[in-house]
Amino acid sequence: MKYATVLDCRRRGSVGEYRVLLQDEGYSDSTVEVRVGAAARTGSTLELRHLHPPPELADGYARGWADYLDCLRRHLAAAPPVPADAATRRAGSPK
């Protein structure tokens, strides 16, 4: 059995960050850190760090993250562009 627990989730300006504790039954715990932020004028960066994955599972995690990020890249490439001011709008504010 595998469990994931969100440890932290925050936004600082145009950067969103979160940390997740991964628990694979029978193995040591590991932490995933994700940071998403604005890049230049038309893009974003995504940084994903998987800290201390169990050695026995590291290769599988590496393949899994590569597949996940490739699927995310294809999905985002096919999505319509987001208006430039969308990142600065807050929920409930006028459009």
**What parts of the chain have a pLDDT lower than 50?**
91, 95
Strand partners, 33: 19, 49
The pTM for the full model equals 0.75
Give the count of beta carbons closer than 10 Å to the beta carbon of residue 33: 15
User: What's the confidence (pLDDT) of residue 68?
Assistant: 93
Tokens of 79: 């999505």
Element (H, E) at 84: none
